[in-house]
Structure 1
């Protein structure tokens, strides 16, 4: 038994802008893709064999708070693979959605929101980057903009299986961003029934929302690497930018979480 929230947040609490980060090689990403694919397809034994040589392992966890079981892909020990990130899969229900956190700590409290969605809603997965977005050389760890990361590799495997995803970001409130949330579908720039419903739910609770599919919005995520991949694969991808007060202890955080829970629940009910 583990406290899942504490386990994940203790991991991200160590992330620093000047931290270490080296992306996996082409060969390592290929092994990761195959291993994640095997796990998603129900063959944990084969997945473990593929992941072990690149420094990763699969652990079955039972959360003390909810009693739910999860499969975790994480580094076997401290080192290079520790900074590639983690994957959590709900092991008690069929997989219907993913929450993606590409900038934990840097986009403050998006990691907490990702955990809350995973804990509070069945049938989900959490894809978590393993370093601060400014770690490593230049923009190497800014995984939302790059296709050479473990994060992107895992999201792609989910998209191959038509698993819709919501990617969580945070922005600093500014005069040209008079919103609590900016919603879009990334590069596809298309309206989805569920994204309209998400915007409606947020607005019903008093949040100001910019809808990227119909308004001129900042931070629409059109250059997002996972959004571009989703467009190529015709996969559902929702890019969510939240102001500080819609995250963490902000006054609108509960309302934002409730609306996002409604989004992933709609996917689970499909």
Structure 2
């Protein structure tokens, strides 16, 4: 083969290699994140073991998770950090939005049930969506991931254990030592607003569909907009800054307490079972939350 032909062949191979690298994101697997989150939540059991991370484990986990949740792209480095802690890191594209995501999740049933964390790959987050009681506040993980789909630039935090595991030690909304709370606090420290999703039994507050509260933080214009948007669809809303809402205000949630100490926004949203179990009503709630968050953003 002549020198000229060798050069042409080499250049051709180089182009193929470059194109292969460029197209790697297009070959990422597509995953239905709502289905994946529901499978994760459904596998959480009240009698499973659980322990919070040690101080060193918490520090290591934060060093891996916070970069991923705040726009980092060096996923291989984070894999090396998070894998020894029981996390599996997955990159892919959401089957509905086609947005590229990165997800770090522990295994349901492991004593290190420290959560599922989802972020838009490489995107600077605008808000934090929290699901502290999966498989207890039923279908809240679906609302959380559907809200992620509606709001590009969201970081999603889903607890990795049933709230009753280890005699309630796994209740991340009331355990400041949980990794979930450490991650939420670190993101709040960056000034990000938090929307925490809960559910209540219809009998707990008859006639009310949604409770909107600031938890232990002062109510803001965001809370008002959320309530207004939800009410616009005909849903009865209890506004915790105006009336008693049957002890569903979330004033003891540690994420809200941390947000209050830092002066950041915390929205505690409770929805009744009829809304959470109905795909149409769930979609309306998601649309209302997304509209309020979008209009209040920078």
2:153: which partner in 1?
123
1:64 aligns with 2:95: yes
How far apart, CA to CA, are the structure 2 residues paired with 1:84 and 1:157? 15
Displacement of 1:55 in angstroms is 2.6
Q: TM-score, normalised by structure 2?
A: 0.82
Deviations 1:179-232 (A, max 9, x none): 1111111111x2211110111111111111111122222211110010001111
Which of 71, 74, 95 is matched with 2:125 structurally?
95
2:36: which partner in 1?
7
Which runs of no fewer than 5 residues in structure 2 stay unpaired?
1-28
2:134: which partner in 1?
104
Which of 267, 282, 290 is matched with 1:253 structurally?
282
* Local SS of the residue matching 1:11: helix
Return 105-114 or 50-59, whichever deviates more: 50-59
Instruction: Spell out the pairing of 1:170-209 with structure 2 (5 A cutoff).
Output: 170-174=199-203, 176-188=205-217, 190-209=218-237
* Local SS of the residue matching 2:227: helix
Cα RMSD, aligned residues only: 2.1
* Local SS of the residue matching 2:202: coil
Which runs of no fewer than 5 residues in structure 1 stay unpaired?
none
Q: TM-score, normalised by structure 1?
A: 0.90
Displacement of 1:21 in angstroms is 1.8
Larger Rg: 2
Deviations 1:220-248 (A, max 9, x none): 11100100011111111100011112213
Q: Classify 1:61/1:76 alpha carbon distance in 2 versus 1 (closer, same or farther; 3 Å).
A: farther
1:212: which partner in 2?
240
How far apart, CA to CA, are the structure 1 residues paired with 2:284 and 2:63? 38
Displacement of 1:3 in angstroms is 2.2
Deviations 1:14-62 (A, max 9, x none): 1122222222222211211222233326254543343233232432221
Displacement of 1:153 in angstroms is 1.3
How far apart, CA to CA, are the structure 2 residues paired with 1:9 and 1:28? 27
Higher helix share: 2
Which of 237, 253, 256 is matched with 1:227 structurally?
256
Q: Classify 1:146/1:76 alpha carbon distance in 2 versus 1 (closer, same or farther; 3 Å).
A: closer
How far apart, CA to CA, are the structure 2 residues paired with 1:252 and 1:76? 31
Return 152-161 or 35-44, whichever deviates more: 35-44
How far apart, CA to CA, are the structure 1 residues paired with 2:108 and 2:49? 15
Instruction: Spell out the pairing of 1:28-177 with structure 2 (5 A cutoff).
Output: 28-39=57-68, 40=70, 42=72, 43-75=74-106, 79-81=110-112, 83-91=113-121, 93-136=123-166, 138-174=167-203, 176-177=205-206
